[in-house]
A = this chain, B = another copy of it.
C-alpha cells in the first residue's frame, strides 16, 4: 500500500492549514479549490478525498483554528488568570494579529462571511463563540462579579476591533482604534 493512513491525515492537516491562511487572507468565496490545493501542495482533484464540499471545509477550518487559538491555551502556572487574560487581549488587539498572523482568529476575520453562509457554518461559529466567551468568563472569575455578561461584550469588542481595523486603508487609524479597544477591554476585565 503506497499511501498510509498517516499520510492521508497529514494531507488533510495541510489542507486545513492552507484554508485557515487563505480564508483569513482573502475570504471564503475568493479562495478557489485550485488555489487552496496548490497552496497545500496538491492538485484540485485530490480535495474530495478529504472533504465532501467546500462548505464542509469551511466549518472544519473554523474548528481547527479555534483549537489552536491562544485563547484556548492553558494558563501558565506562574501567572494568575487575570494577568493571563490581559495578555490574551493585548495580543489579540495588536497590529501583529491584523497582518498575516500564524494563528488568525477566523471569528474576527470572517464574521460577515459566515453570516451570509449556510446554517451549518453559522452553527459552528455560534458554538465557537460560546466556547471563547466562556473561557474568558472563567479567566475573569476572580476579579469580576458580572463576568458572564462582561465576557460577552468583551468578545464582541475584540472581534469588532480586529474586523474593523483589518478593513482600514489607514494604518494610523488602525493603531488608534486598537489602542482604544485595548483600553476599554482592560477596564472591562478589571471592573468589579
Contact = CB atoms under 8 A, between A and B. Distances in A.
A181 B169 contact: no
A122 B126 CA distance: 27
**Binding site of A, secondary structure by majority: helix, strand, loop or mixed?**
helix
Given A116-B27, A116-B30, A119-B169, A155 B150 contact: no
A164 interface: yes
Contact of A113 (B112, B119, B173, B179): B112
A91 interface: no
A54 interface: no
B167 A122 contact: yes
Contacts of A30: 29, 116
A111 B158 CA distance: 14
Given A109-B112, A125-B168, A160-B164, 14 more contacts: A27-B112, A111-B112, A111-B164, A111-B166, A112-B113, A115-B163, A119-B169, A126-B168, A149-B179, A149-B183, A150-B180, A152-B177, A153-B157, A184-B188
Interface of A: 26-27, 29-30, 107, 109-116, 119, 122-123, 125-126, 129-130, 149-150, 152-153, 155-161, 163-170, 173, 176-177, 179-181, 183-184, 188
